[in-house]
Chains A and B, each alone.
Chain A
Amino acid sequence: MSLLAVTHLASASAWAVYAVGALMALAGAGGVVLQRNPVHCALALVTTIFGIALLFIDQGADFLAAVQVIVYAGAIVILFLFVIMLLGVDRKEQRAPEKLKGLIPVAILVGVVALAELLVLVRVHYWATGSKAGAGALNGPGENVQKLGQSIFTAYLLPFEMTSALLVIAVVAAVVLVRRPSPAPPGHEHRTVVGGRGTARSGPAPARATVAERGTPTERGSGASGGAEQSGSTGEVVR
């Protein structure tokens, strides 16, 4: 009798863990889609990541849960927040009119159809062949980290080395992408070039003000108004 009670209690606790993780994941996912402010979206993504890490622990993937929290919540979301703060896009999302009419209902319809397909796939029981992948059994002697490490460093050694090459390529690509195209000599001219770029593409207001008082040839014409006396000295640097 007491054994049955213990079993019921364990089952209830397992369902409770699943419910908490699922609620965190779903609430965070809804927040990512529905929040207007990108910072709130990033925080909702953190909620989802913690919920999924909880479900990882519940399924015996201890190492992956730790890596999930460290890499996703600690690195990727922080990187998102850095970019949001750096670019200043956290004010509000532009509400320009949609170029395609009725895009949102179609998008929701596509999502619902995809979800229905996935749920049908869950109901079909014969997609798993049951043949082992050569990576070893999950249940067995030893810790999760030990077995995962042995599998990665023996059976999956070549993909592991390729991921290191991929990370190096990603670092080089990030440096190349974000680097400024023409390294101007330090001092006055460099700032002028940066300001001039901001104006030509309808940049933020301060950049436009700086260049307006310096006087670009494209905007000011050939010295019609005040500030034209400077356009001869700095005008060539801008374009």
Chain B
Amino acid sequence: MTVPGAWYLVLAACLFGIGAVGLLVRRNILVMYMCIELMLNAVNLTFVTFSRMLNDLGGQDAVFFILVVAAAEVVVGLGIIVSIYRRRSGATADDISSLKG
């Protein structure tokens, strides 16, 4: 009665691809973080879909933990972004590349 799980997986793959392209293309650090959140959401959708397809609760447990880790990651990342912008306003990802290999 419901939509087959492969459709959800294809949608999640498209969301992940869009997020990856945005992470590579955009140079505003905040928008790059939003693209990371987009990719995390795509993975969450994949977990929930597999949880339904395999009749296993483990996928939803994984999504629960991913939500917690994403919240912690955003807190630390935004702290880093605030300290970067405090030193030099209007910085993009190109301006803080002094640690590149």
Which A residues have a C-beta under 8 Å from some C-beta of B? 7, 10-11, 14-15, 18, 22, 25-26, 29-30, 32-33, 38, 41-42, 45, 48-49, 52, 55-56, 58-61, 63-64, 67-68, 71-72, 75-76, 79-80, 83-84, 86-89, 93-94, 96, 99, 103-104, 107-108, 110-112, 114-115, 118-119, 121-122, 128, 130, 132-139, 144, 147-148, 151-152, 155-156, 159, 163, 166-167, 169-171, 173-174, 177-178, 197, 201-204
Contact assessment for B57 and A138 in the assembled complex, using a CB-CB cutoff below 8 Å: yes
Interface size grouping (class) on chain B: 35 or more
29 contacts between A and B (CB under 8 A): A22-B11, A25-B45, A32-B38, A33-B22, A38-B28, A45-B38, A55-B8, A55-B11, A59-B48, A64-B64, A72-B37, A72-B41, A75-B71, A79-B74, A88-B89, A89-B90, A104-B25, A107-B24, A108-B25, A112-B17, A122-B9, A132-B56, A133-B56, A137-B56, A138-B56, A147-B57, A166-B68, A170-B72, A173-B76
Contact B82 A178 (CB under 8 A): yes
A113 to B31, CA, bound (A): 22
Asked if residues A94 and B90 are in contact (CB atoms below 8 Å), the reply is yes
Known: A26-B14, A104-B25, A122-B6. A174 touches B75 (CB 8 A): yes
Q: Decide: A48 and B41 in contact? CB cutoff 8 A.
A: yes
**Does B3 interact with chain A (Cβ within 8 Å)?**
yes
Cβ contact within 8 Å between B10 and A122: yes
A177 to chain B, nearest CB (A): 4
Determine if B57 and A29 form an interchain contact, defined as CB atoms under 8 angstroms apart.
Answer: no
Complex Cα–Cα for A119 and B10 (A): 6
- Bound state CA distance, A159 and B64, in angstroms? 11
Q: How far is the CB of A94 from chain B (nearest CB, A)?
A: 6
What does DSSP make chain A's interface, helix, strand, loop or mixed? helix
Question: Smallest CB–CB gap between A190 and chain B, Å?
Answer: 15
- Please tell me which one of the listed residues A29, A76, A133 contacts residue B19 in the complex, with CB atoms under 8 A apart: A29
Q: A38-B31, A134-B58, A138-B52 are in contact. Are A163 and B79 (CB under 8 A)?
A: no
What distance in Å separates the Cβ of A104 from its nearest Cβ neighbour in chain B?
A: 5
State A108–B17 Cα separation when bound (angstroms).
9
- Known pairs A32-B38, A41-B31, A114-B20; list 4 more (Cβ under 8 Å): A55-B11, A72-B67, A115-B16, A177-B83
Whether the pair B30, A89 counts as a contact (CB closer than 8 A) is yes
Contact yes or no, B89 A204, CB < 8 A: yes
Q: Which residues of the other chain, B, contact A152 by a CB distance below 8 angstroms?
A: 61, 64
Let me know if A42 and B34 touch, CB within 8 A.
yes
B1 at the interface (CB under 8 A from A): yes
Query: In the complex, what distance in Å separates the CA atom of A119 from the CA atom of B17?
Result: 10
Whole-angstrom CA separation of A134 from B54 in the bound complex = 12
Given contacts A64-B64, A83-B81, A148-B61, contact A10 B1 (CB under 8 A): yes
Report B-chain residues with C-beta under 8 Å of the C-beta of A88: 89
